[in-house]
Structures are given as C-alpha cells and as structure tokens.
Chains A and B, each alone.
Chain A
C-alpha cells in the first residue's frame, strides 16, 4: 500500500508540470501518452507473470478503464460548463470516498473500528480542504 500511495501521488503531478511548461492545451494528448506509459508497464508485468486472461478480468478491466476515463472526462466537462473548481473537486473526490466507504460497509460487509472511522472522516475532510485550498 505504501508503494501504491507514493506511485499514485506522483502519477498526476505530470499535469502540473505540463501546465508549468505552457503545454496545457495538449491535455488530451498527454492523457493518451499517460495511458500508453501505464499500458506498456502493465503489459510487461503481465508477460513476466506468464498468466492468461480470464473473461471476468476482461469485463472488469473494461468497466474500470471506462470508469477511470469517464471520471476524468466528466469532471473536466463539469468545469468547462461553469461549475467552480471548489465545488467540482470536493464533490467528485470527497463524494467518491464516502460512497466507496459506504459500499465497502454495506455491499462487502467490511467492518471499520473507531480508529478507522475517525481516519476516514479526517481523510475525507483533508481531501475536501485540499481541493478547495
């Protein structure tokens, strides 16, 4: 999870560098190469693991890929249609954290202790504040 935390944090920083270099107009093309880089690594990892593909993995991979792109595209569209960033970002980030936590508890019967509950509340608060700061 620590690897995931650090690597995931670095992932979106490229967009900031893109903007700083005056290349913000090429965001869609950036996204293409960003997914291409991810796919090359993922394909190499798949080939090294010498595993085949299951039908359910193909279906879930498609659903997850669609959700990933849809999430980013809808957020961008929302901003383009005039929704202020201080509303769009907390709604998509904080809201999704809340919904996923709720799904974990209600659908997957996960149990969160008092420390975990406080951690979730503080974490959501922190990300909402970060997106409006």
Chain B
C-alpha cells in the first residue's frame, strides 16, 4: 500500500509539473503550435516504448482506434487553445479552469449512460459554474485595474 501512495504522490508531482511547464513555455516565448505538436509527438513515442517494453499486444478490436482518435483530436485542440490562451491569463486560475472541464464527462455520463447523480455529485457539479464565474470576475477586475 505504501508503494501505492508513493505512485499517487509521483502522479501528483507529474501533473503539477505539467501545469508549471505550460506556464514556463509561455514565459520562454515558446509558440503554442510547436509546443502542442512536440508534446503529443513525445507522448506518442513514450507510450509506444511503454507498450513495447511491457510486451503489450498491438492488435486491438477496430472500435478502439476509431474511438480513441477523435477524442485525442479533441484533447489536442484543448491543449493548443490552452497554450494560446495562457498568454492572456494566470496559470493559477487557467489551470483550474481547464481542469474544471472534468465536469463535462460526468454530465455526459449522467445524460448518456443514465449514471446516478447523487447529492455529492450534484453539489460538486453545481460548484463548477460558480467557481468559473468567480474566476471570470477576478480576471475582469484585473483587466479593469490595468486599463
């Protein structure tokens, strides 16, 4: 179990470093298109190595590729838009805003697969637009201060 918690901690540090690198890329005047392409290029290479080293099978049912490709495109659009948008905002609030989109698959699961909502989930989902509104208000106020 201790080993499991160590992995969770490493996961936490990896995701945090990813957010910091997005901001660092903007600070170092890296352009969104190359950053996005290289990030996906390297990820693709790393996952290929991981599957090969672990001796994983490459043959999959046809549904896997046709499902994964459009969702991968969607995520790539998100990263490109995020890297371009970070120029106009703070990483502290932008990283939260993009992560709050986790609410969308939850809503889709409820609507499409009729998953039960539950009180905790309902409260969590209702907090997302409130949080987004507060972040928008903060950004709006900051822009007015700079005018």
Contact = CB atoms under 8 A, between A and B. Distances in A.
Interface of A: 1, 3-14, 16-18, 20-21, 23, 26, 28-43, 45-46, 49, 51-54, 56-58, 60-75, 77-83, 87-88, 91-93, 95-97, 99-101, 103-105, 107-108, 110-120, 122-127, 129-133
Contacts of A127: 99-100, 102, 124
A85 B29 CA distance: 38
Contacts of A56: 28, 30
Contacts of B113: 16, 20
Contacts of B85: 1, 4
Given A11-B72, A37-B72, A126-B124, 20 more contacts: A5-B101, A8-B79, A10-B71, A12-B75, A13-B108, A16-B105, A36-B69, A39-B72, A42-B33, A57-B34, A61-B35, A66-B43, A69-B43, A101-B95, A101-B96, A108-B91, A119-B132, A123-B99, A123-B128, A126-B131
Nearest to B3: A81
Contacts of B10: 70, 74
Contact of B22 (A9, A64, A97, A113): A64
Given A26-B64, A65-B46, A83-B1, A71 B73 contact: no
A35 B40 contact: yes
Contacts, number: 429
B16 to A, nearest CB: 4
A21 B113 CA distance: 12
A97 B38 CA distance: 24
B7 to A, nearest CB: 4
Interface string B100-120: 111111101100010000101
| B3, B44, B63 — most chain A CB neighbours (10 Å) | B44
Interface string B1-37: 1011101111111111111111111011011011111
Interface of B: 1, 3-5, 7-25, 27-28, 30-31, 33-48, 50-51, 54, 56-58, 60-61, 63-65, 67-82, 85, 89-106, 108-109, 113, 118, 120-121, 123-125, 127-128, 130-135, 137-139, 141-142
19 contacts: A5-B97, A8-B82, A28-B56, A38-B72, A42-B41, A49-B31, A51-B34, A60-B30, A64-B21, A65-B43, A70-B10, A83-B7, A92-B12, A100-B96, A101-B93, A101-B95, A108-B23, A113-B141, A119-B96
B8 A83 contact: yes
Contact of A46 (B33, B128, B142): B33
A73 B50 CA distance: 10
B47 to A, nearest CB: 5
